[in-house]
A and B are shown apart, each in its own frame.
Chain A
Amino acid sequence: MAHDTEVLVLGGGSTGCGIARDLATRGLGVTLLERGNLTHGTTGRMHGLLHSGGRYAVSDQASARECIEENRVLREIAGHCVEETGGLFVQRPEDPDEYFREKLQGCRECDIPATVLSGAEAREIEPYLTNDIERAIQVPDGAVDPFRLCVANAIDAERHGARIETHAEVIDLLREGDDVYGAVVRHESGPGKQAHARPGTTEEITADYVVNATGAWAGQIGAMADLEIAVRPSKGVMTIMNVRQVDTVINRCRPKGDADIIVPHETTAILGTTDDEVSDPDDYPEEQWEVDLLIDTLSELVPILRDARTIRSFWGVRPLYEPPGTGTEDPTDITRDFFLLDHAERDGVDGMTSIVGGKFTTYRLMAEQISDHVCEKLGVRGSCTTAEEPLPGSENLETLLAGMDDFGLRSPIARRSAKRLGSRSQEVLETDEPNPVICACEGVTRAEIRDAISQSGTDLNGVRIRTRASMGNCQGGFCCHAMANELSPEYEEPAVRAALDELFQERWKGERHALWGEQLSQAMLNYALHATTMNRDRDPAARSSALEGRGEDDGETTAAESIDYGAFDAGRGRSAESARERIADGRADAPSRRRDGGADGD
Chain B
Amino acid sequence: MSDSEPDRPTDDHVPDDEFEPVQVFPDAEEMDLRPGADNCYKCSTCDTNCPVAEVDDEFPGPKFQGPEQWRLKRGDDTDIDPSITKCSNCMRCDHACPSEVPLSQMHNTARGEYVEEHLNKRSLEYVRNRILSNYGTMARIGSKVPRLTNFVMGLSVTKWVNDRVLGITSEREFPKFATETFREWWDERGGAAASRERAREARATSGSESESESESENERKSEDKRVAYFHGDYANYNTPEVAKAMVRVFETFGYEVCVPDQRCSGTPMFANGMLDDARRAARFNVDTFRELVDDGYDVICSCTSCSMALRQEYPELFDFEGTETVAANTYDALEYLRIHEDLEAELAGSDVDAPDFAYHTPCHARNQGLDGQTLEVVDAIGGVEAHDVGDSCSGISGTYGWKTEHYETSMAIGEEMFQHMDSADADTGLTECPTCAMQMEHGTGYEIRHPLEVLEAALSTDVSPDQ
Q: What CA separation (Å) do A413 and B39 show in the bound complex?
A: 21
B82 is an interface residue with CB less than 8 A from chain A: yes
In chain B, what residue has the closest Cβ to A102?
Answer: B6
Chain B interface residue count, CB cutoff 8 Å, equals 46
B72 touches A267 (CB 8 A): yes
Residues from chain A with a CB closer than 8 A to the CB of B17 are: 131-132
Structural contact, A474 and B11, CB atoms closer than 8 A: no
By the criterion CB–CB under 8 Å, are B38 and A410 in contact? no
Q: In the bound complex, what is the Cα–Cα distance between A242 and B36 (angstroms)? A: 10
Inter-chain contacts of A410 with B (CB < 8 A):
60, 64, 69, 81, 83
Contact B10 A525 (CB under 8 A): no
Contact B35 A127 (CB under 8 A): no
Q: Is A578 an interface residue (CB 8 A)?
A: no
Among A114-122, A146-154, A320-328, A363-371, which stretch is in contact with chain B? Answer: A114-122
Give residues of chain A (454-501) contacting chain B, Cβ–Cβ below 8 Å: 472-474, 477-478
How many of A's residues come within 8 Å of B, CB to CB?
52
Knowing A127-B32, A243-B35, A412-B77, say if A135 contacts B10 (CB, 8 Å): yes
Which residue of A83, A121, A123, A443 contacts B72 across the interface (Cβ within 8 Å)? A443
User: Known contacts A116-B8, A127-B32, A410-B81; is A309 also within 8 Å of B1 by CB?
Assistant: no
Residues of B contacting A525 with CB < 8 Å?
A: 41-43
- CB contact under 8 A between A245 and B35, given known A116-B2, A134-B11, A412-B79: yes
Residues of B within 8 A of A543 (CB): none
* Binary A-proximity of B19-35 (CB < 8 A = 1, otherwise 0): 01110110000001011
Give the complex CA separation of A100 and B10 in angstroms.
Answer: 13
Tell whether B99 is near chain A: CB-to-CB under 8 Å. yes
A441 touching B42, Cβ below 8 Å = yes
Inter-chain contact B11/A119, CB cutoff 8 Å: yes
Q: Does any Cβ of A come within 8 Å of B63's Cβ?
A: yes
A530 at the interface (CB under 8 A from B): no
Most chain A CB neighbours (cut-off 10 Å) among B17, B20, B41: B41
- Report yes or no: B79 in contact with A415, Cβ–Cβ below 8 A: yes
> A residues within 8 A CB of B63?
440
Complex-state Cα separation, A267 to B76, whole angstroms: 13
B39 touches A247 (CB 8 A): no
Complex CA gap A474/B77 in Å reads 23
Complex Cα distance, B32 from A264, in Å, reads: 15
Chain A: minimal CB distance from B410 (Å): 23
* A292 located at the interface, meaning its Cβ lies under 8 Å from any Cβ of chain B in the complex: no
Which of B7, B20, B24, B41 is A521 in contact with, Cβ under 8 Å? B41
Interface string of B61-73 (1 = CB under 8 A from A): 0011000111111
Contact with B along A106-126 (1 / 0, CB 8 A): 000000000111111101100
B42 touches A477 (CB 8 A): yes
User: In the complex, are the beta carbons of A123 and B34 less than 8 A apart?
Assistant: no
* A-side contacts of B81, CB under 8 Å: 410-412
- Report if A242-B60 is in contact (Cβ < 8 Å); known contacts: A115-B3, A127-B24, A412-B79: no
Interchain nearest-CB distance for B382 vs A (Å): 47
Residues 65-117 (chain B) with a chain A CB within 8 angstroms: 68-77, 79-83, 99
Contacts of B75 in A (CB 8 A): 244, 247-248
**In the complex, residue of chain A having the shortest beta-carbon distance to the beta carbon of B14:** A120
Which residues in A have their C-beta under 8 angstroms from that of B25? Answer: 127
Among B24, B25, B38, B60, find the residue whose CB has the most chain A CB atoms closer than 10 A.
Answer: B38
Q: Is B37 an interface position by the 8 A CB rule?
A: yes
Is B40 interfacial (CB 8 A cutoff)? yes
- Contacting pair A473 B40 (CB below 8 A): yes
Distance in Å from the Cβ of A401 to the closest Cβ of chain B? 12
**Nearest Cβ distance between residue B82 and chain A, in whole angstroms?**
7
Q: Is B467 an interface residue (CB 8 A)?
A: no
For residue B216, CB closer than 8 A to chain A, the reply is no
Q: Counting CB contacts under 8 A, is A72 at the interface?
A: no
One of B6, B71, B72, B76 near A100 (C-beta < 8 A): B6
| Selected A-B contacts with CB under 8 Å, 8 pairs | A115-B2, A120-B22, A132-B17, A135-B11, A243-B70, A442-B72, A443-B72, A473-B42
Residues of B within 8 A of A (CB): 1-8, 10-11, 14, 17, 20-22, 24-25, 32, 34-35, 37-43, 60, 63-64, 68-77, 79-83, 99
